[in-house]
Amino acid sequence: MKFQECCEEGKLKRAMEGVLLDFDGTLTKPAFDWPAMKEEMGLADGEVSILDHLPTLSPDRAREISDILEKHELMAADKAEASDGAHELLAYLRRRSIPFGVVTNNAERHVLKMVKKINVSFEVLITRDMGCWKPDPRPMFAGAEAIGVSPGRCVVIGDGKYDMMAAKAAGMLSVHLAECSSVPSDLTLRTLREAPALLDQLLDK
């Protein structure tokens, strides 16, 4: 959806004040081989959420699945590359003094490894280490609180379905990052390079 259409539908009734970003696949280029990981886990490559699946398993099986997830997260961290426009977006947010943070389903230690590899920095990082994860809205609420912005004035930018679901559940404006998006969201971006121009409109309304 375009900015003007979003305004006409009444989804943007007031200026936004803060930004919450996904990490893997958003600030970094996608590096996870999800089909291979799920095959190793013995899970169907479909709608199964690995993290949501864990509590339904026996302790031994859950540990086995967690170990496989850890291995693949480390592999992805080793291959991490910054997305096109990632450094420019973070510089833009700082230049305009816009409160922002990262909300990710990754483990904190893997994110910190990737942060060093791609040479980015941010002060607010919410990970699955808090004990819940997207599409649960609680990580989004935690992110909003950490950047000091009310949920209704936060913009969420992410590449995944769960990012958009969590944003909607938290009452935030959702922006899906995808060249061809079929995921329900308020707005879409093809690349992060388009984000500053969109945020100029959202934050100055």
Domain spans of the chain, in order of start: 3-29+83-203, 34-78
Look up the pTM and report it: 0.86
Cα 1 to Cα 8, 35, 136, 176: the distances in Å are 11, 29, 24, 10
Residues 193, 27: contact at Cβ < 8 Å?
no
Model pLDDT for residues 140-193, shown as the tens digit of each residue: 999 999 999 999 999 999 999 999 999 999 999 999 999 777 889 999 999 999
The closest of 12, 10, 23, 31 to 157, measured between CA atoms, is: 23
The H or E element containing residue 155 is strand 154-158
Residues 37, 163: contact at Cβ < 8 Å?
no
**Which range has the worst mean pLDDT, 18-22, 39-43, 107-111?**
39-43
Please name the CATH architecture into which domain 3-29+83-203 falls. 3-Layer(aba) Sandwich (3.40)
